[in-house]
Every structure is written in C-alpha cells, then in structure tokens.
Amino acid sequence: MSPDLPPVAPSVTAELVAALPPRLRKRLDAGVTKLLTRPVTREGDTVRIAVDDGTDLVLSAPGGVVTGADAIHCGCLLAPACLHRAAAASAAPVADDAPAPEPGRATATRDGTEQTEAQPAARPGPTSGETAAGTATAAQRAAAREVFDAAAAVLEAGTDGAGAVLQAGLLHAAHTARLAGLPRASAAAVSVVTAVRAARTADPGYRLTDLAGALSGVLGVAHRLPHATGQELTELRGTVRQPYRPDGSLRLYGLFSEPVLTATGHAGAVTWTTDADGRLYTVSDVAPGGPARAAGAADRAVRMGDTALTHRELSRAGLAVSGATVSPTGRLGAGAGVRAVRAPGAAWRAEPLDRLWAVPATAQVTRALSGGQDLLFLEVTLTGTVRETTGDCLLADCGGVSLRLAAAHDDPSLPCRDNLRLLAAAVGSRVRIVARLVPGPVPRALLLATEHPTGPDARVDLGLDRLQRADLPAGAVAPPADTAPTVDEAPLHLLRRRVHQAVSGGRRVLAFAGSTPGDAVRLRRLGLATAAGLLDDLHAAAADRSRDAFGRLLPADTGRFTLTWLAAAFYTDVVERALCAHAWGADASEAGLPDGV
C-alpha cells in the first residue's frame, strides 16, 4: 500500500480486478509490487505514475478520492484492459465507500468515516422483505454470507497468500454490504483489507494483533447477522453516520490532545474536553494523510464557531459553546448554528477536572471492559522501565498495582517513544496521567498525557509535545531497563499464538500438529479445559482434508475451519479481558465477564 497514491473506493478496485482475464489475475501481485517501485508525481487532484519511460498511469481524484474506474487511465497499448489499472487500485489506500454526505458540514471521525451534523440517523437497511420481528432482509443475509465467505478466504490463505485478487473479493463484498444497508460489516471488511496490505508491504505500523482483531470482528458480524433480531440486528447493521443531537449550551474545559494515525490512511488530532459534570467531549480534525499531518494537526485551528484556538491551545484552555450538537460518542459538531468562544481552562488538580481522578482505578477499568470509555485518569509514581520484545515500557505504581505504560504510537515522526524514554529518568515522581487501557493479563495502558515532571500545573501531551532534558528534575538519570519479570499467569498464549499463526500463515501452518498435544495437555493440567478443546478442534479442522476415490484431495471445508478459528479468537478475547479485570483488582462480573477462566 502506497501513501503517495490517492484512496480508491472499494467498488472501483473490485471492478477493475474482476475485469482482468485469468492470465492477468495470476500476475496481479507481481504487478502491484513493481508499480510500488515506480516514481509518483502529484499535481493537484491528479497523480501520475511512470510505468516505464514512455507510459504513464494517471489517477484523477477530485476531492482526494478515486470514485470511478474511468478515473484511472493508462497509456499502454493494452489499456483499458491492462494490468496497470488494477495494480494501481490494489496498491492505493482503500477509501471510505460511504455515499455523499447530506447537507450540513461533514467532518471525519477518528476512524476516517464521515459524519454529518444535525441530521437524523439514516435507517441502516432497506425494509423490503423485512418481517415484523425485525429480521434481516434476504439481500442483507446474502451480503453477510458474501462478506463471511470472502473474509474466510483471506483467513484460509493468511497474509502471505491473500494477494490482490482475494483482497478485491473482500472489497466487492464490502461494497455489496454497503448497498444492502450493512455499513458495519462493510467498514470491518475494508479494515481487514487495509491491514492485509500493510502486512504484505511491511508497513511499520502493522500489528498482527490488530489484523486478528479485525478478522474476528468482520467474521463475527457476518456470522451473527442473518440470525439476529431486534436491537442486536440494529447494532450489527450499524449506521453510515452518527446522528448529532442538539445539546444546548456547554462550558467545556480542555484535558489533552492526542495525534490520530490510522491504518486506513487518515491522520490528524483529537482534543478531549469535559464539562463540570465529568462528561467527556471531543473535537476532531481527521482527514486523509500520513504522519506529517498527525504531527502538524495540533497547531491547526479548531473548526467550531468563531474560535481561533488551535487544538494544542484548546487542550489547556476552555470553550463556551452555544447551540452545541453532540454525537452519541461525545463528538462535538461544527455546524453553521454552533457558536463557540474561548473561555478560561482549569488545572488537572483543580475543580472540575479533579473529579476525573477521584474515581477509583478499578471502577474505571470495569467501565472500559464493559464497553464504556477506555480512558483512564490515574495518579501514579514512576518506578523505572522494563524491557519487552516490543520495546521499553515505563513502570509505575498505581495504588499498589504495577502498571506498564507504553507509547501510543511508534512512528518516529511523533515524539511518543522519545518522551517515554525521558520520563524514565523522573523515577520517584508522583504525577497524574491520562492513559488508554490495553486489556491483558498484566496491567498495561498507552500513555497519552501526563503532568509536567517538575510543574504539576503544566501538562504534556505525549504524542504532540516534545520533552527536553531540561524539563526533568535536577540530576535525573534514567535507570537501566530491567528484563520483564516472569508473570504467574494462565498460559493463554498457547492458544493465542495459534490463532495469530493462522492469520499470518493461513490454514496450512496449523495442518500439522507439531507440539499441539503437549500444549493441550498443559492447558488441561492448569484448568483451561475449554482452551485445550478449542486448540484441538483448531488443528483438527485445519488438517481435515478428504480424498476422492482416486486419492485426490477434495476442497477443504473452509466454513468449519473459519468457525473453529472464530470460536478460539472469541474465547481468547473474553478470557484476556477477564484476566485484565483480575490483574487490576476489578470485579469481572460487573463488566459482564466470567469470574473464572
């Protein structure tokens, strides 16, 4: 995936790949790899790729997005039925396939989808064929099946084998789901394609865990939707845009700003604010772009009313808003009727912000694990660093809980990791922080903002502000990082690593039992009989290949393997969240999780 190319709508990529004859489809992956090495130039909304010395490939992207197959032109002799057009679409980021926004000022959410203010929520699906019980329509059931089959094919092949043709199949299924009124399934399918492309191009932002989560998400939605009714069906369908409702006048206080850098090719900043009652609101500026836009978005003016505040300034000041419109997630609208002016801010240790840190950590963790806000407002004492395979983490004591604080972003253009290293020298400092919970058997969170190491009245946004050594206490020296101590935890990794192996290597890597009997025995010995059974089923489903009367292998049962993998992925997710609650000392049952594993 090349960030130099404009985003291409899923339907365009699917159309161009489907039009290729079989002989060219076999060469598509090689064509994508070759095209990624060619020079790219941009002139306004036109992007030009030099295929060779005498041939150019031109992508026209009015508004920054390629929305039609005729917007990709090639100068080769085989055009328009050439390989180059499909390769360019397959190499470009995937655009949001949402319809044009309704009248109103539309802005981008953190995940890049658009929302239109002051508009009623669109009904997510057609009513034709819908029963009184609120079941899915025939078109929606067919679309869900297509999404499931296309995602199952990606899982079957793994990232190593999920080339442009399989990706195009999933994009076609995403477009079909969008037309059938299933925006949630469509968006989930697009996120899988984006993550697969990141994996195949060795994108430094790629995470296997994220791809596994995206795959289990799209498969889970597509599997449950045909049988869902009522409120569950409404949630599985999703909505194209979040509705904004009027919220009168608001007096807001800035908390912090964080950069946004997504795998879908969107970047920017989000500023978090709160009212006097502790309700959180966000102001976003997210659009197509890369790390440079994320780093510079904090100094862009907030698009709301007549205020000239930047995101960086708003995070430390306040805002008085009249005629406010708010989405269900707390995102503030910026429509024509909204008025906003600058107002005084407040320190973290002063009212009304102080009440955010007064909530016990266990209650905040329970809220996050039950599907609520995942931000944690904690007061910690910095105790050192610990070396892990993914990098050094900052250690902190939080009310007797040993907490590991990791960088929210690894991109070198953002100061997250550099700031974390400098904070390691402030051992012994007691500071208030804002972090995002990372579920797992060890207390862990992504550090987003902290009080200044030498001045509690100041604050530092770890992803946007760059600390200097002069900001540290006098004589502060970072201690050497310790090796991560052995944690006495349930060996859930024995199942989790097989789930992840299937995502990266496909079904074939699990077709051979290897050390599975030993792993299953260990899981049963430690009381994880369900995990052991799922591990056995996963390998059995992967290795189940029948032969015909002539000894030839019959097609594999993709459905059985996919459902077995989905069950294992769901189990590991639920158990990890239960272990997370236990690690923090929270009540798992209050978060809707099992008390035991």
The tokens for 421 are: 């290293």
Mean pLDDT of 513-534: 80
Residue 393 lies in a domain: yes
Is residue 126 over pLDDT 50? Answer: no
Question: Do 390 and 465 reside in the same domain of the chain?
Answer: yes
Could you give the CA distance from residue 184 to residue 178 in angstroms, rounded to a whole number? 8
563-574 as b/e, with b when 16 or more CB fall inside 10 Å?
bbbbbbbebbbe
| Strand 482-483 to 375-388 pairing | parallel
Residue 315 lies in a domain: yes
> E strands, 21-132, where?
40-43, 46-52, 55-60, 72-74, 106-108, 114-116
Residue 1 lies in a domain: no
Residue 111 lies in a domain: no
Question: Do 226 and 259 reside in the same domain of the chain?
Answer: no
HEC string of 295-361 equals: HHHHHCECCCCCCCCEHHHHCCCEEEEEEEEECCCCEECCCCCCEEEEECCCCCCCCCCHHHHHCCH
Phi, psi for 417 (deg, rounded to 5): -70, -35
Predicted confidence band of residue 97 (pLDDT cuts 50, 70, 90)? low
Phi, psi for 43 (deg, rounded to 5): -130, 95
Question: Do 371 and 391 reside in the same domain of the chain?
Answer: yes
Q: What is the pLDDT of residues 437-490, one digit of tens each?
A: 998 888 999 999 999 888 778 899 999 999 888 888 776 666 666 655 555 556
Question: Do 73 and 153 reside in the same domain of the chain?
Answer: no
Helix, strand and coil percent figures for the chain, each rounded to 5 = 40, 25, 40
Question: Do 534 and 574 reside in the same domain of the chain?
Answer: yes
| Strand 72-74 to 245-261 pairing | unpaired
Residue 127 lies in a domain: no
> Of the residues 207, 237, 267, which one is the last residue of a structural domain?
237
Q: What angle do CA 541, 542, 545 make, to 5 degrees?
A: 85
Question: Do 252 and 335 reside in the same domain of the chain?
Answer: yes
> Of the residues 237, 269, 302, which one is the last residue of a structural domain?
237
* Average pLDDT, rounded, for the chain: 83
Residue 102 lies in a domain: no
Question: Do 361 and 469 reside in the same domain of the chain?
Answer: yes
- Kind plus residue range of the DSSP H or E element containing 216: helix 208-224
Residue 282 lies in a domain: yes
Question: Do 275 and 328 reside in the same domain of the chain?
Answer: yes
Q: What is the pLDDT of residues 298-333, one digit of tens each?
A: 888 888 877 888 999 999 999 999 988 888 888 888
**Largest CA-CA distance found in the chain, in angstroms, rounded:** 81
Q: Which of 139-148, 204-213, 446-455 reaches the highest mean pLDDT? A: 139-148
The amino acid present at 594, given as its one-letter code, is P
Residue 7 lies in a domain: no
Q: Which domain holds residue 276?
A: 245-343
pLDDT at res. 117: 36
Q: What is the pLDDT of residues 257-267, one digit of tens each?
A: 999 887 666 78
Question: Do 559 and 577 reside in the same domain of the chain?
Answer: yes
Contact 580, 594 (CB under 8 A): no
Contact 429, 447 (CB under 8 A): no
Mean pLDDT of 20-48: 88
Contact 76, 3 (CB under 8 A): no
Could you tell me the CATH number of the domain that includes residue 256?
Answer: 2.40.50
Question: Do 473 and 523 reside in the same domain of the chain?
Answer: no
> Of the residues 209, 237, 265, which one is the last residue of a structural domain?
237
What pTM value is reported for the model?
Answer: 0.81
What residues have CB less than 8 Å from 281, skipping those under 6 apart?
A: 250, 252, 272, 273, 274, 275, 326, 330, 331, 332
Question: Do 470 and 422 reside in the same domain of the chain?
Answer: yes
Question: Do 233 and 251 reside in the same domain of the chain?
Answer: no
- Kind plus residue range of the DSSP H or E element containing 574: helix 558-584
Predicted confidence band of residue 558 (pLDDT cuts 50, 70, 90)? confident
What residues have CB less than 8 Å from 529, skipping those under 6 apart?
A: 523
Number of domains in the chain: 5
pLDDT at res. 545: 73
